[in-house]
């Protein structure tokens, strides 16, 4: 083994395939770091994206999810600075270099600038430190084909947020529990504008090789319960990217968060103690339904006491589909519980059925599908090799996940690509999910 190879032994543990390509990726990044920031010590951090097997839009309702960490990731090279500036570069030229001072109140950069994730992390870390913060020189490495595809429902934003958070917290000697780290990252994404949940940050930190993670998103005594569940032998999770990009900073996502909160507000008349939809999970849906209107105006909901003030883009004249949105959350939590049972029993047929049922609920009740995803779903549902399939992630584009027989996955990938290209003119990226380990500091070396 050469001296250079010794630095990269961690690659064999993390990546199951194309290790030589990964080595080249890391080496090129180190060279670029040196040319941007000069010689010296460099820490390398990595945070994976995720595919969510089942449990969509349940996390911010304190419900159940079942994500898998991917081997597609964001890598951040970092060095502490003597001042409190953050200098941010990216291996991809489209992301412009920028720098800012880390204060308690960092202004958002306009037009959804990519640096906002770093700004969010830096500001919220500053709030947590009782001493002056150290700035950093950072280089972000998340280019295709190794990075998490962006806007594809695979949590590219959270993998970026987590990798930057690990860098800044390590350089500043801040050690938090997993729940505290998750909270910091989640606060950072709220700063950017998504009123999201904690699933993506948790799985990015806690993912395990060859496993999905069942996660209960309700905090108990300041931490979360999770359980790794082995992925079924002989079956693959095939990911198909529709190429239709989505963004959560805006109406679609946040209005659904609002509809769920409205449901909680209305159910409080019968169940005064509840704070999230999860708190009525054990109540049969038939009992809940009569208390939830099909549609209600935001102005009426706020007049009745539901707090929706912090939801970006929500206007008083907006109409929220409260009943259908709550029904999805309630039924999806049941499906996740069914999926755990099916996985433990090795009942892939049942697991597949639950995935397909989750898609219908996401499409009809949560209304987060789109024409391109429906084309993919109708094709996948007809394939003998597919046990079940669904849209994954926030929706409105992004990816499908199909549970497929391993011996047929490659053929299926080619067939779905050909069909989709013929129908839409879009070349869909497809890949088999390699469940990877969670985020961390990989190594420290000198360039």
Residues that bind ligand NG1 (CB under 6 A): 52, 56-57, 59-60, 153, 155, 157-158, 189, 194, 196-197, 199-200, 248, 393-394
Q: In angstroms, rounded to a whole number, what is the distance separating the alpha carbons of residues 56 and 196? A: 12
- The nearest distance, CB 393 to ligand NG1, in angstroms, is 3
Contact by Cβ (8 Å): 260, 196: no
Distance CA 138, CA 96 (A): 13
Smallest separation (angstroms) from ligand NG1 to the CB of 49: 8
Q: Taking the complex as a whole, how short is the minimal distance between the CB of residue 395 and ligand NG1, in angstroms?
A: 7
State how far the Cα of 248 lies from the Cα of 262, in Å rounded to an integer: 19
Could you tell me if 403 and 34 are in contact, meaning their C-beta atoms sit under 8 angstroms apart? no
Q: Which residue in the list 59, 71, 200, 216 is annotated as catalytic?
A: 200
Nearer to ligand NG1, 248 or 296 (CB): 248
Q: How far is the CB of 17 from ligand NG1 (least distance, A)?
A: 24
Looking at the Cβ atoms of 22 and 204, the one nearer to ligand NG1 is 204
Least CB distance to ligand NG1 at residue 300 (A): 26
The nearer residue to ligand NG1, 56 or 216, going by C-beta atoms, is: 56
C-alpha span between 201 and 169 (Å, rounded): 15
Q: Which is nearer to ligand NG1, 153 or 207 (CB)?
A: 153
Q: In this complex, which beta carbon is closest to ligand NG1, that of residue 329 or of residue 442? A: 329
User: Which residue, 26 or 64, is less far from ligand NG1 as judged by CB?
Assistant: 64
CA distances 168 to 37, 365, 401, 438, Å, are 17, 40, 33, 17
**Residue whose CB is nearest to ligand NG1 in the complex, by number:** 196
User: Is 307 a catalytic site residue?
Assistant: no
Cα dihedral sign for 222, 218, 189, 430?
A: positive
Least distance from ligand NG1 to the Cβ atom of residue 394, Å = 3
Note whether 439 and 255 are within 8 A (CB): no
CB of 190 to ligand NG1, least distance (A): 9
Closer Cβ to ligand NG1, 135 or 388, answer by number: 388
* Nearer to ligand NG1 (CB atom), residue 135 or residue 147: 147
Name the residue nearer to ligand NG1 (CB basis): 197 or 207: 197
Residues 6+ apart with CB under 8 A from 243: 372, 397, 426, 427, 428, 429
* Positions marked catalytic: 200
């Amino acid at each position: 083994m050469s001296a250079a190879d010794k630095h990269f032994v961690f690659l064999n543990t993390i990546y199951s395939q194309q290790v030589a390509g990964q080595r080249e990726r890391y080496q090129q990044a180190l060279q670029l770091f040196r040319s941007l920031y000069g010689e010296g010590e460099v820490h390398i951090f990595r945070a994976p994206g995720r595919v969510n097997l089942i449990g969509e839009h349940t996390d911010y309702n304190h419900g159940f999810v079942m994500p898998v960490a991917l081997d597609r990731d964001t890598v951040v090279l970092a060095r502490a600075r003597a001042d409190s500036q953050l200098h941010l570069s990216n291996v991809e030229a489209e992301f412009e270099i920028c720098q800012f001072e880390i204060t308690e109140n960092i202004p958002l950069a306009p037009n959804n600038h990519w640096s906002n994730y770093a700004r969010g992390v830096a500001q919220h870390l500053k709030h947590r430190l009782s001493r002056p913060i150290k700035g950093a020189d950072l280089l972000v490495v998340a280019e295709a084909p190794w990075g998490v595809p962006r806007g594809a429902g695979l949590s590219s934003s959270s993998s970026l947020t987590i990798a930057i958070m690990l860098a800044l917290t390590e350089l500043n000697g801040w050690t938090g529990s997993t729940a505290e780290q998750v909270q910091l990252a989640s606060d950072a994404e709220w700063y950017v504008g998504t009123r999201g949940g904690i699933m993506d940050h948790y799985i990015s930190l806690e993912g395990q090789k060859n496993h999905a993670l069942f996660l209960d998103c309700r905090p108990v005594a300041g931490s979360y319960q999770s359980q790794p569940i082995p992925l079924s032998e002989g079956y693959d999770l095939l990911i198909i990217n529709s190429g239709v990009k989505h963004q959560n900073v805006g109406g679609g996502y946040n209005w659904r968060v609002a509809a769920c909160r409205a449901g909680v507000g209305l159910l409080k008349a019968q169940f005064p103690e509840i704070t999230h939809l999860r708190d009525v999970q054990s109540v049969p849906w038939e009992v809940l339904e009569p208390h939830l209107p099909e549609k209600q105006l935001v102005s009426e909901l706020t007049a009745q006491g539901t707090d929706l003030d912090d939801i970006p883009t929500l206007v008083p004249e907006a109409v929220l589909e409260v009943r259908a949105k709550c029904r999805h959350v309630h039924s999806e939590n049941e499906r996740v519980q069914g999926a755990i049972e099916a996985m433990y029993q090795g009942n892939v047929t049942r697991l597949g059925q639950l995935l397909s049922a989750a898609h219908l609920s996401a499409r009809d009740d949560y209304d987060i599908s789109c024409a391109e995803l429906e084309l993919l779903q109708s094709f996948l549902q007809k394939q003998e090799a597919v046990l079940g399939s669904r849209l994954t992630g926030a929706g409105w584009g992004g990816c499908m996940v199909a549970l497929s027989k391993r011996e047929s996955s490659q053929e299926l990938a080619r067939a779905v690509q050909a069909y989709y290209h013929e129908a839409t003119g879009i070349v869909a990226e497809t890949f088999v999910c390699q469940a990877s380990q969670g985020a961390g500091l990989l190594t420290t070396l000198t360039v």
